[in-house]
Structure 1
Amino acid sequence: MKFSTKEDIEAPIDVVFEMLCDFEVFERAAMRRGAEVQRLETSKEPGIGMTWHASFDLRGKRRELDLEIVEFDQPNDMALESTSPGMLSRTSFELMALSRNQTRVVVNLELKPLTLSARLLVQSLKLAKASLSKRFGKRVAEYARSMEERYVREAGSSSA
């Protein structure tokens, strides 16, 4: 099952990619929602092989998830694969400079069930694909707007 959306962000491509690589922001956001997130290596520089382990409650059950950066081509694209019992997913971010201060980000998410129960879950998600696609697009758009706001704030504070 695949989800895809794109957003245009009023910020240079290098800045957008750097914000996408600010993994501590994502880690804190997941923890605020009740997840436990642990970075599994000590490298401060983002790149291929960077990994995390997360656990969280979903639908009344504890879920475990391992994430790894599998593609990293700064500032053009990045892909993460996540594995959990029964499910494999891949999230990719493709960036394209539209102008000096505008960047298009294409976000793709693909879910691959590995077990029968995961297949049943994905099948039920397919029935709600239209609403899930809308929610996915809305979340990406909200994050894109927050990146623009952050860029304006930081650009304003550095010129002061």
Structure 2
Amino acid sequence: MSSTMNGHDNDPPRPRRRLLLTAIPVVAGAVVGAVAISTGALRLGTSGDSTPSAEQSAQERCRADVLKRLVAPSSAHLTDVRTVPSSLDTEGRDLFSLTLEEPLKGVDTSRITVFDVTGVVNSLNEFGSTIQDHFDCRAYFVDGSLAHTLVLFDHPH
């Protein structure tokens, strides 16, 4: 009998087969991982309790400060809330906060960054009627940390 009759001459040697059986799942896993990272489904280096961005901090603080100024904060509903970076207006709307408010008083203006948080609030007034008012909140950061906010409404509260 010749050796070609047994049907095993075309099979790769066992170590090579074992290598292929190991390499295929590893390569497939690497491809799946790369796709997950590139699409954002898997984020490396971020934890679920990471610090909020400056925009998120500004928006959260301004929402809280807007609610504090209302007669019935539990009835309030904020809509159209937008947060955008802004420039410091040392001669106008930021003058009061820079010269009289303690967290910013005397701070070098080059260390201050500002975000504008604007929106509309619907809330009950002291007579039980629903009012709608626009608000503008200036969030001041010193060296990246939120230091002060200033809330302005179109109507008195």
Same fold (TM over 0.5): no
Higher relative contact order (CA 8 A, sep 6+): 1
Q: Which has the higher strand share?
A: 1
Q: TM-score, normalised by structure 1?
A: 0.30
Q: TM-score, normalised by structure 2?
A: 0.30
